[in-house]
Amino acid sequence: MISLNIEKTLGFISKENVFAYEAQVKAAQEALENGTGKGNDFLGWLHLPSSITKEHLADLKATAQTLRDNCEVVVVAGIGGSYLGARAVIEALSNSFTWLQDKKTAPVILYAGHNIGEDYLYELTEYLKDKKFGVINISKSGTTTETALAFRLLKKQCEDQRGKEMAKKVIVAITDAKKGAARVTADNEGYKSFIIPDNVGGRFSVLTPVGLLPIAIAGFDIEKLVAGAVGMEKTCGKDVPFAENPAAIYAATRNELYKNGKKIEILVNYNPKLHYVSEWWKQLYGESEGKENKGIFPAAVDFSTDLHSMGQWIQEGERTIYETVISVEKTQHSLQVPSDEANLDGLNFLAGKHVDEVNKMAELGTQLAHVDGGVPNMRIVIPALNEESIGGLLYFFEIACGISGYILGVNPFNQPGVEAYKKNMFALLNKPGYEEESKAIQARL
C-alpha cells in the first residue's frame, strides 16, 4: 500500500480546486476503461497486472533459472522503456555493493544498448572476456540503433567465447511477435523469446517480460512484484471514490499546480536505491505528456546527496517547481550511530539513533524549508523497499500518468517527437533509404 499526502501543496493551490478535477478524472478513467480516448490502441498496461497468469510467471522463472545456472553475468541490452523498468526494480531491491561481493547468489546484471559510448562498450566487452555471460536483447520495435549495435557486439562475443550451442541457451530475445530485426534474429537463431504485446508501449512495459525476466534473473520475486501491482490496480480502480484514489488525487494535483505556473515536477527520494525509479518515472511522464508544446518537465533529485548541489536552486531559484517526495517508511537493515568518547565531531547527540532517524529528520526539515521557500510538496509513502511496494508504486505512477495525460488533453501513449533525432542521425550516417535526407542535411552543415 502507498499513501499520498498533498497537504503541503495547499498553501499554493486550494483543495477545492484539486477536487474540482473530479469530473475530468472520471472522464479520463472512463476513456481509459472503455478505450475511447487518444492512443486507445496502447491500453494493454491498464489491466496487465491482474491478467498475468501463473503459467506465464512459471515460464519466465524457468528461463531465468537457465540463465542463473549458466551465467556469471547477464547483460540487459535495451534503451528507454526496454531497460529502465528492469533497472529501476533491480537497483531498488539489490544490495548496493552486490557486484563487489565474492559470494554471489545471482548473476551480476549489467546494461548495454542504452548509449552509444565507444569506451563504455569497449570496457564492457573487455570485462566480459573471461566471464560466462548471457544477453537479453530487449526491443519492442526490434530496430532501435543503440540496442541493435550493442547486441551485434555481444552476440558475436558470446558465440565466440561460449560456442554457438551455449550462446543459443543464454541469449534471450524480448520483442514484437512478428516485426523487427530482433524477431527475425531470434527466430533464425532459435533463441528463447518473449513477446511484448502490441498494445503495451515501452514505458508501460515493466510488468511484461521486458522487466520481469531481468528482475527474476537478478533473484527477485516477480510474483510479489505483480501482486503489489494487482493491489494497486484495485486501490486506483475507476470505481474508487475520487477522494480515496491516490492516482486520481496525484493526477489532479499536478495538473492544478501546472495551471498555477508550476512547470517542473521534481521527484525526490531519500534513498539512493531509488535513483533509477526516478529515471523510469522521467521517461514515463516526459514521453507521455511532453507534446503539443505543453507538459510538466519531469526532473529528479536524490537527497540528501543533491541537497548539497541542487538544494540551493530548489530553495531560492525561480518559483516554477514543485516536489513529489517518495518516502520509504522502513529500512531493510538496522544501523545505529555509535557513541564516541572524544566526541570530536560533536555527533554524540545522535548516539544510539538509527541512521534512518537522521534521514527522516533531513526529509522533514527539507520539506518544511522548501515549502517556506515557495515549493509545493507532495509526499508518497511506501512501506519498504520490497517487491510488493515497488510493484504497487510502478502501477500507481502508470495509472496516474494515463489519467493526468488525458486531463492535459494530449495522447499520453505516443512519442512522435523522438523520431526527429533518429532521422537526422540516419541521414548523417548515410543509411540506405535516407538519400534525400542525407543531401538536405549535408547542405545545412
Residues that bind ligand G6P (CB under 6 A): 79-82, 139-141, 144, 147, 202-203, 287, 415, 418
**Beta-sheet strand order (sheet of 297-302):** 3-5, 377-384, 321-330, 264-269, 297-302
Nearest distance in Å: CB 125, ligand G6P:
21
The grid coordinates listed for 235 are 486501490
Q: Which residues contact 90 (CB under 8 A, 6 or more apart)?
A: 109, 214, 215, 218, 220
Side-chain half-sphere CA neighbours of 174 within 13 A: 28
The residue from 287, 363, 388, 398 that is catalytic is: 287
How many residues would you count in the chain?
Answer: 445
How near is the Cβ of 115 to ligand G6P at its closest, in Å?
12
Q: Is 26 known to be catalytic?
A: no
Choice between 290 and 311, CB closer to ligand G6P: 290
- Smallest separation (angstroms) from ligand G6P to the CB of 176: 8
Q: Which is nearer to ligand G6P, 210 or 385 (CB)?
A: 210
Secondary structure class of 385 (helix, strand, coil):
coil
Which grid cell is 433?
Answer: 533509404
Comparing CB distances to ligand G6P, the nearer of 338 and 417 is 417
**171 phi and psi angles, rounded to 5 deg:** -110, 130
Q: How far apart are alpha carbons 182 and 150 in whole angstroms?
A: 12
Rank residues 113 and 231 by Cβ distance to ligand G6P and give the closer one.
113
- Judge whether 422 counts as a catalytic residue: yes
Q: Is 339 exposed, middle or buried (0-12, 13-18, 19+ CB in 10 A)?
A: exposed
Least separation in angstroms between CB 208 and ligand G6P: 11
Pair 279, 88: CB distance under 8 Å: yes
- For residue 445, the minimal CB distance to ligand G6P (Å) is 24
Nearer to ligand G6P, 149 or 227 (CB): 149
Question: Considering Cα of 87, then 88, then 91, then 93, what sign does the dihedral take?
Answer: negative
Q: Which residue among 422, 423, 435, 439 is the active-site one?
A: 422
The catalytic residue positions are 287, 422
